[in-house]
């Protein structure tokens, strides 16, 4: 059974940083593309960042230059380093992996940025 568990969220002030972690189990982690999404209140879930098995990365325009995605295959963990946080980054952040065409999601971790 594939499981994803996010951690690292919290309440911070604008301009501060957080690092989110997502640890996977039940998959050969190193061969998969991992994704971070977020969902703010009243808004649709959006893709924030992606990292491929070959470490190719993609970022939403809204976070480019502020967020960095990375992975540690030995720990089956993907990270999202978030710097210069803004109030508009407030959301629940989710990790996602697609396994045999099916999306598996974590339960999410709340990030709240106060102004």
pLDDT digits (tens, 9 = 90+) for 10-66: 999 999 999 999 999 999 999 999 999 999 999 999 999 999 999 999 999 999 999
Note the pLDDT of residue 41: 92
Note the pLDDT of residue 59: 98
Mean pLDDT (the chain) is 97
CA distances from 35 to 14, 46, 49 (A): 24, 11, 6
Note the pLDDT of residue 88: 97
pLDDT tens-digit map of 52-108: 999 999 999 999 999 999 999 999 999 999 999 999 999 999 999 999 999 999 999
CA-nearest of 2, 3, 13 to 83 is: 13
Which residues neighbour 98 within 8 Å (Cβ) at sequence distance 6 or greater? 32, 33, 104
Note the pLDDT of residue 73: 98
CA-nearest of 6, 19, 8 to 85 is: 19
Structure tokens, 107: 């339960």
Q: In terms of C-beta density within 10 A (0-12 exposed, 13-18 middle, 19 or more buried), how is residue 32 classed?
A: buried
Note the pLDDT of residue 22: 98
């Amino acid at each position: 059974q594939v499981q994803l568990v996010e951690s690292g969220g919290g309440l911070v002030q604008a301009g501060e940083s957080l690092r989110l972690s997502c640890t996977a189990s039940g998959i050969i982690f190193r061969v998969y593309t991992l994704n971070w999404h977020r969902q703010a209140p009243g808004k649709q879930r959006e893709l924030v960042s992606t990292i491929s098995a070959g470490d190719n990365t993609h970022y939403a325009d809204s976070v480019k230059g502020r967020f960095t995605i990375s992975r540690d295959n030995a720990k089956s963990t993907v990270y999202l380093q978030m710097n210069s946080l803004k109030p508009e980054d407030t959301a629940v952040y989710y990790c996602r992996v697609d396994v045999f065409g099916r999306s598996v999601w974590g339960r999410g971790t709340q990030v709240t940025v106060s102004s």
